[in-house]
Structure 1
Amino acid sequence: MAYDLKKESDVKEYIEKLGIEYRFGCYSEKKPEVCHLLGDYLEGIKKDFEKAAKVYKSTCDDYGYAKSCFKFGNYSFLGKGKSGSKGDPRSAYSYYEKGCQLNDPDACLHSGLLLVSRSMHKEIDRDVPKGIDFLSKSCDMNNATACFYLSGMHISGVQKKPEGSAPLSSAEKVKTKDTGYILQKDMKKAFDFASKACELRNMYACANLSQMYARGDGTEKNEKEAEKYKKLAMEMQDEVKKQQQALEFQQGLKMPN
């Protein structure tokens, strides 16, 4: 049957039929990819976050579907899908980790960020080396944000002691041969990660790359390349502004009576 999506009645019928097809594909045919689509349908169209959460959770637990693990991780983190529920970072991390093990780049990004953060989430034990492994895996799967974070971590290094605490004494350094850093500063690696993130269209990485070329950090100084990446970052910024303006315009439109 052909639907005229300009007609409200046809749109409603199409949406309802879509939901029936997803339920059949999930519950009768037991297809995990269709179950995930059912979760997206319940979330995006029906706005039934409680049912969506259940579908994402079961699709992850029962079928090991990576995208659903990531989505339920988000629900757990935000406390979404349960009325009056607070976020549960520990549960979220377990689903992000599972999603990462199943090769979802976004799940690797989020599990990595939870592990490397200093004090944002006290429920999660900080484990920078493991977090870097997750972020590296995400970057290897072309997640631009993961590559950008890895670049930043190599620009500043990662200290063992939280910011604000007393630095290691000379005696401690001699005794333990400890530099005070879990991850050493490495501008060459920072440059390489920024290059990849910029290629993947991360605006902030392109801006950093411009600065690195201008200063000769991690690469040879090159004003021409610095200007090239500065221009690219500005073009990306303009694109983002245009997209935001278009979205605001669309949200401002009212349907005719």
Structure 2
Amino acid sequence: MKKSFILIGGLITLGFSANYQTKAMNYFNQGNYKKAIQYYQLSCEKDKNIDSCLITGDLSRNVLKSDKKSLIYYKKACKLNNKIGCAMSGKILYKFNHKQEAKKYYEKACKLNSPKGCNAIGNFYFKGETVNKNLETAFNYYKKACKLNSPEGCNSLANAYEKGLGTKIDLIQARETYAKSCRWGYQKGCDNFNKISQNKKSHK
């Protein structure tokens, strides 16, 4: 039975090393993912094509079950200034407990306007991991993450508004920001929105 995967790299663009591209796509469509990886890998390494680097990373995780190999190719995508590659590198490095290096990749991801990268850096400062705990800095990163449409970032930002973490307490802003997180499908945002709304009713 043919497997299906959601590739973080998204749609594949044409116009580079047609031989690598055609072979990779043909093998992928046939369900021969290991062969497909070989050609996406060649396209990444020889042509420095970002999509192929991301797809190699995705397939390495999903097919080969190798975070170590996927990290190599996400790092290559990051080196080419791709925010997804940087954020995924940070995620895997954090999983490996290489938090200092993970932070560097998340920082680059955030600079490239990755919502996940900004939210992750906010968490570093909120928890005081590898840095001195700084709630105001965490707040600013959560604010940028939310502006970039991160539901997790909006939930964290709303929590800061609700409890006065790195900013002044603003329950109206907290409620609106929890609602935004909820609209984007984040269950914790929905739960927190319902909770703060109930509290508002009980104080009337």
Partners of 2:2 and 2:31 within 8 A in 1: no
Which residue identity lines up with residue 172 of structure 2 in the other structure?
K
Counterpart selection for 1:110 from 120, 124, 141:
120
Partner of 1:20: 38
Unaligned runs of 5+ in 1: 80-86, 159-181, 222-257
Once superposed, what is the RMSD of the aligned Cα atoms?
Answer: 2.5
Which residue in 2 is equivalent to 1:141?
148
Name the SS for the 2:172 alignment partner: helix
Q: Which residue of 2 aligns with 1:191?
A: 175
TM-score, normalised relative to structure 1: 0.62
For residues 49 and 185 of structure 1, do their structure 2 counterparts lie closer, same or farther at Cα, with a shift above 3 Å needed?
Answer: same
Structure 1 residue matching 2:32: 3-state secondary structure = helix
State whether structure 2 residue 176 is matched by structure 1 residue 210: no
Residue 89 of structure 1: CA displacement? 1.5
Q: Which amino acid aligns with 2:116?
A: D
* CA distance in 2 between partners of 1:40 and 1:97 (Å): 21
Q: TM-score, normalised by structure 2?
A: 0.77
Deviation of 1:13 (Å)? 6.0
Q: How many residues align?
A: 179
Could you tell me how far apart the structure 2 residues matched to 1:49 and 1:206 are?
A: 32
Structure 2 residue aligned with 1:74 = 91
Check 1:216–1:5 CA distance in 2 against 1; reply closer, same or farther (3 A cut): closer
Q: Which residue of 1 aligns with 2:101?
A: 91
- Of 125-134 and 105-114, more deviation after overlay is shown by 125-134
Spell out, residue by residue over 1:164-209, the C-alpha distance to the aligned partner (whole angstroms, 9 max, x if none). Answer: xxxxxxxxxxxxxxxxxx4221111111111111111222322332
User: Given the alignment of the two structures, is residue 41 of structure 1 paired with residue 25 of structure 2, yes or no?
Assistant: no
Aligned to 1:124: 131
Q: 1:32 aligns with which of 28, 40, 50?
A: 50
> Shift of the alpha carbon at 1:136?
1.2
How far apart, in 1, do the equivalents of 2:197 and 2:68 lie?
49
